[in-house]
Amino acid sequence: MYSKRFVAALTAALCVFGAVSCGKKDSTVDEKKETETTAATDAAETTEADTAEAKEDSDDKKEDSGSDEEYKLADYITVDKSSPAMWKVTDPETGNVLYMLGTMHIVTEDTFPLPDYIMDVYKNCDGIAVELDINCMMSDMQQMQEFASKLMYTDGSTVKDHISAETYEKLKKYMSENYMYNEMMDVYTAGYWVSQLETLAITNIDDIDTNGVDYKFIEMANDDKKEVISLETIDIQAKALSGASDDLADYLISEMIDDAGDMPTYTKEFAEEYDKWASGDVDELDMDDDAEEMPDDLKDDYAEYEDIVLYNRNEGMAAKAEEFLKNGKNYFFMVGAAHFAGEKGVDDLLAAKGYKVERVSA
């Protein structure tokens, strides 16, 4: 069975993971294009409506069963005061400095406020650089349609054609039990269902906040009239969200549903991963650690998935950071903590390029 590090890495790598994959929990040429756009709009709107209702129904069920306490993340978190990992990067040629923060895209209700060493950098910056300006996308129906269409099959197939019948029925049953299934959603890719399922399971935890660190800083920046820069495009995020091969997605979907069936254990294990982020232990979020736990016939698929979700994107992020350093841009650079994990993180790539990289702490 895959490690819970996979869960934390995914939620610490994809900025639209919580905000879009579950409708934010609150969430032939011309003719073919029109059909796909309509389907994308309908599917996105249906998902958002269903998930908003799902939380309320799920809460009612847990209250009736008396199992409310078992679903509280705070009962298992051991870090009293969060101190997420942050780095100061200096260009030895120009003396220009860039601060980089590892974020978590799904947090707890008690995550904020963040410590002063982080907030002081924010106060002194001219703008923030995030993976994707989620607020902007969520308020723009055209962008939402475009994003949704990139997560859907355009060849007439559905998820039923890409995973086994057994896994599909398992998926349908789980989603239906959580008030989240309708046939229109079958057009989403098998890879996308991996993130969809994980978000649904996580948001069944009572005291979780899907408006993560990036989202909060974007809101603050908007209020403070600071610039918000997107480091990535919708294409890059969509490719990462649906990056798992059909065989890998089939395996992960089945495993995730099994794990989510035991919510007390699931909550405890997610709390352990949250603790790693909150204590700044980002290397423990390295997806490489899960590779050995994959079945042998899926190891290559998983390696390709890692490249899509993390390592290829790390290269692009490091290039953006280098651009800011060269141009003297006073941006607060913040991306999912998993992008700093292991030996191929953004910080390591910049250090290899000759920049001085220092860990900042309280």
Name the β-bridge partners of 173: none
Strand positions, DSSP E, the chain: 86-90, 97-103, 107-108, 127-130, 208-209, 227-230, 331-336, 356-360
Q: What mean pLDDT is predicted for residues 242-258?
A: 95
pLDDT at residue 353 tops 80: yes
Percent above pLDDT 70 for the chain:
80
Tell me which range, 66-80, 138-152, 203-217, 325-339, is most confidently predicted by mean pLDDT: 325-339
Q: Tell me the C-alpha distance between 91 and 323, whole Å.
A: 11
Q: What is the CB neighbour count within 10 angstroms for residue 165?
A: 8
pLDDT confidence of 162, banded at 50, 70, 90?
very high
pLDDT confidence of 9, banded at 50, 70, 90?
low
Q: What is the mean pLDDT of the chain?
A: 83
Q: Which residue has the higher pLDDT, 83 or 140?
A: 83
Q: What is the CB neighbour count within 10 angstroms for residue 76?
A: 16
pLDDT confidence of 107, banded at 50, 70, 90?
confident
* pLDDT value, residue 28: 33
pLDDT tens-digit readout, 197-227: 888 888 888 888 888 899 999 999 999 999 9
* pLDDT value, residue 130: 97
Q: Tell me the C-alpha distance between 340 and 263, whole Å.
A: 29
CB burial of residue 23 (10 Å; 0-12, 13-18, 19+): buried
Tell me which range, 53-62, 120-129, 194-203, 268-277, is most confidently predicted by mean pLDDT: 120-129
- Calculate ∠ Cα 140-143-148, nearest 5°: 125
Q: Is the dihedral of CA 260, 262, 263, 267 positive or negative?
A: negative
pLDDT confidence of 196, banded at 50, 70, 90?
confident
Q: Tell me the C-alpha distance between 142 and 110, whole Å.
A: 34
Of 167, 345, 309, the C-alpha closest to 249 is 167
Helix axes 4-11, 263-278, angle to 10 degrees: 60
Answer for the pair 290, 302: CB distance below 8 angstroms, yes or no.
Answer: yes
* pLDDT value, residue 11: 58
Phi and psi at 269, nearest 5°, equal -70, -35
Domain boundaries, the chain: 4-360
pLDDT at residue 289 tops 90: no
Q: Tell me the C-alpha distance between 135 and 162, whole Å.
A: 32
* Distance from the Cα of residue 193 to its chain's centroid: 13
Q: Which residue has the higher pLDDT, 197 or 317?
A: 317
Q: Cβ contacts of residue 313 below 8 Å, gap of 6+?
A: 13, 232, 236, 240, 339
Instruction: Annotate 261-307 with DSSP letters as a single string.
Output: TSHHHHHHHHHHHHHHHHTT-GGGG-GGGGGGGS-GGGHHHHHHHHI
pLDDT confidence of 284, banded at 50, 70, 90?
confident
SS3 85: coil
* pLDDT value, residue 291: 78
Q: Which residue has the higher pLDDT, 59 or 23?
A: 59
SS3 77: coil
